[in-house]
């Protein structure tokens, strides 16, 4: 099976709550994948908008309601604060290996009100609180990841974030991304 590159983004809330170590430990120990990159950065409003648009997909195994929750969450919680203009930080991990997207996704888990007691990252650190009518009152996914290996935007999103991360270092984004990401 060919090598894949998979991403996992730790949300600003999970960073604030110091959950990064627990999340990373689960990803490494339960997937057996190689961690090939990690970077904390503050995504621009443009990057957040483009990423949020890529979340809604007919190929996503989660229903449209969950996709819309993720879309709105990304816009509201990853964009710079509208009142202060202050950037919000995320941590992005890149994993490499056989069947990487499926393996990371199985450890990340799906979003559901029926959590199974801590089997996945979202079971432990995520929240989905609904009222008696099924209306969402509170939502925190803990991490963001590609839904499936066949999700056409997976490599596009990985490249999108890679360019943004490298550009934030002041180096030539095009040169670094073409040399490193394309090899994966």
How far from the centroid of its chain's Cα atoms is residue 68's Cα? Answer: 15
Domain tally, the chain: 1
Q: Does the predicted TM-score (pTM) go above 0.85? A: no
| Residue 145: strand, helix, or coil | strand
Phi, psi at 37, each rounded to 5°: -165, 145
Pairing of strands 136-140, 127-130: antiparallel
Which structural domain, as residue segments, surrounds residue 43?
A: 3-180
Instruction: Tell me the torsion sign for CA atoms 46, 163, 100, 108.
Output: negative
- Among 20-34, 58-72, 114-128, 142-156, the range with the most confident prediction by mean pLDDT is 20-34
Q: How high is the mean pLDDT of the chain? A: 81
Question: Do residues 97 and 32 lie in contact, with contact meaning Cβ atoms separated by under 8 Å?
Answer: yes
Closest CA to 161 of 15, 43, 46: 43
Give per-residue pLDDT as tens, 88-115: 999 999 999 999 999 999 999 888 766 6
Q: How far apart are CA 161 and CA 166, in angstroms?
A: 8
Q: How confident is the model at residue 166 (pLDDT cuts 50, 70, 90)?
A: low
Question: Do residues 126 and 140 lie in contact, with contact meaning Cβ atoms separated by under 8 Å?
Answer: yes
Q: CATH number of the domain at 51, please.
A: 3.30.70.141
């Amino acid at each position: 099976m060919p090598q894949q590159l998979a991403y996992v983004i730790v949300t600003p809330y999970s960073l604030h709550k110091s959950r990064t170590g627990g999340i990373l430990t689960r990803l490494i120990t339960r997937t057996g994948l190689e961690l090939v990159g990690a970077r904390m950065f503050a995504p621009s409003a443009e990057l957040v908008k483009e990423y949020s648009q890529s979340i809604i997909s007919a190929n996503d195994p989660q229903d449209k309601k969950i996709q819309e929750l993720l879309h709105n969450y990304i816009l509201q919680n990853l964009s710079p604060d509208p009142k202060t203009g202050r950037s919000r930080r995320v941590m992005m991990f890149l994993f490499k290996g056989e069947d990487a997207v499926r393996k990371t996704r199985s450890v990340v888990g799906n979003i559901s009100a029926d959590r199974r007691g801590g089997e996945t990252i979202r079971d432990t650190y995520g929240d989905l609180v609904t009222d008696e009518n099924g209306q969402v009152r509170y939502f925190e996914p803990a991490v963001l990841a590609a839904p499936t290996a066949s999700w056409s935007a997976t490599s596009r999103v990985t490249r999108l974030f890679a360019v943004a991360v490298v550009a934030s270092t002041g180096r030539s984004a095009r040169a670094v991304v073409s040399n490193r990401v394309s090899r994966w």
